[in-house]
Amino acid sequence: MEFFDKLDLNNDTQAENKMSENTEHVKCLIIGSGPAGYTAAIYASRANMTPVMYEGLQPGGQLTTTTEVENFPGYPEGVTGPVMMEDLKKQAQRFGADIRWGLATAVDFSTMPRKVTIDGNKTIEADTVIIATGATAKYLGLEDEQKYAGSGVSACATCDGFFYRGKDVAVVGGGDTAAEEALYLAGLCNKVYLIVRRNEMRASKVMQERVFKTENIEVLWEHQTKGLTGEGVVEGAVLYKKKGTPEEEEVTIKIDGFFLAIGHKPNSDIFAEYIDVDEVGYINTVAGTAQTNVEGVFACGDVQDSHYRQAVTAAGSGCMAAIDAERYWSEKFA
Ligand code: NDP
């Protein structure tokens, strides 16, 4: 440990990556900074890939909006999301990762080296690119979601459910996430309304059965949210029942928490011209690897994972991406 503390590895990184005023050439560019990006940075630094990371709009990613993380191995007492992200960042910097503020705004993967524009005005030419841009929770688009952000509106029950112990809450959505979040909240809260816009759920049968068997979950079929009410914090929601039909009516429920669980949008838009994505936008990787369809470009974390979406699986895939990038670089450029 002391050995690494004494080395000024950041300077080594900068020296090895050739610089000019607005264009810079790097061996390994990491875009995005959640558990996937930071883990990729740790592994890539230790493999002498002298990685440069741009952290993006939300340094640390989705976990910085969570409170306690209790399921990441190595923290027996739990840890807050922001502290864990800071730990991962320091660990990557200790091995020389060059971590910078900045947002990737465009890419050109048609040339070699690959080109990535940062903040619209700087070009990074990279031998390898690791995409770790994560995913963003979807919202309904109601003004009230912003008005009550952090005051009763949340897109992560496992993060924020604890604050609503013994209270009444609502979850919006009919997929596996909504079912999972409703079940999680049912274990903490007095009552959970599950607001489903159709007369059936998209969630797997087994999850639906669990929801139906849970006494303190009430499914509000064919309901949509009109707005939220409350003095400074959420105190209720106004819903449409059977919107757009002759039986349409307004329904009011009393709740303290309003949880969105209507899916996530992978942050892959700027890559979509070059990178294969699925119908939702998740980046397709070659099974068992982090390799995308573009040579030298790798993807890890939630931007390529619609299924597990956990910090620990994101970190694992970040490790895979760095190892794949290093092997590719050694074969191609060493
Ligand atoms: P999904 O896309 O599967 O479901 C989204 C749900 O939100 C749907 O019921 C959809 O309704 C509803 N919805 C979307 N937009 C609106 C809107 N504007 N107003 C009201 N409702 C809306 O997303 P999930 O996050 O649930 O799941 C994503 C993937 O992850 C799935 O493949 C899922 O199986 C998987 N997953 C698996 C888990 C597990 O196995 N334990 C846990 C969590 C997720 P509609 O049905 O009408 O379109």
In tens, the pLDDT along 223-275 reads 999 999 999 999 999 999 999 999 999 999 999 999 999 988 999 999 999 99
User: What CATH homologous superfamily does 139-260 map to?
Assistant: FAD/NAD(P)-binding domain (3.50.50.60)
Q: What token pair was written down for 232?
A: 């400074």
pTM for this one?
0.77
Q: Give yes or no for residue 306 CB within 6 A of ligand 1.
A: yes
What is the identity of the amino acid at 75? Answer: Y
User: Which three-class secondary structure state does DSSP give residue 230?
Assistant: coil
Name the nearest CA neighbour of 89 among 26, 29, 32.
32
Domains 10-136+264-332 and 139-260 in one fold: yes
User: Which three-class secondary structure state does DSSP give residue 102?
Assistant: coil
Distance 8 CA to ligand 1 centre (A): 47
Q: Work out the pLDDT band at 334, boundaries 50, 70, 90.
A: confident
CB neighbours of 187 closer than 8 A, spacing ≥ 6?
Answer: none
Q: Which residue has the tokens 């970040």?
A: 318
Say how many CA atoms lie within 13 Å of 325 toward its Cβ.
Answer: 34
| Beta-bridge mates of residue 238 | 227, 252
Distance 176 CA to ligand 1 centre (A): 6
Q: How far apart are CA 34 and CA 44, in angstroms?
A: 15
Q: How far apart are CA 260 and CA 178, in angstroms?
A: 8
User: What CATH homologous superfamily does 10-136+264-332 map to?
Assistant: FAD/NAD(P)-binding domain (3.50.50.60)
Report CA torsion sign: 41, 45, 49, 52. Answer: positive
Domain ranges of the chain: 10-136+264-332, 139-260
Q: What token pair was written down for 96?
A: 């020389």
Q: Check whether the bond before 59 is cis (ω within 30° of 0).
A: no
Q: Considering the candidates 127, 144, 156, 256, report the single residue annotated as catalytic.
A: 156
Q: Check whether the bond before 82 is cis (ω within 30° of 0).
A: no
Backbone dihedral region for residue 224 (phi beyond 0: left; psi -120 to 50: alpha; all else: beta): beta
Distance 130 CA to ligand 1 centre (A): 27
C-alpha distances out from residue 72 to 77, 90, 161, 235, 252, Å: 10, 17, 18, 33, 39
Atom of ligand 1 nearest to the CA of 207: 41
For range 64-75, the mean pLDDT? 78
Q: Give yes or no for residue 12 CB within 6 A of ligand 1.
A: no
pLDDT, tens digit, 9 for 90 and up, residues 179-209: 999 999 999 999 999 999 999 999 999 999 9
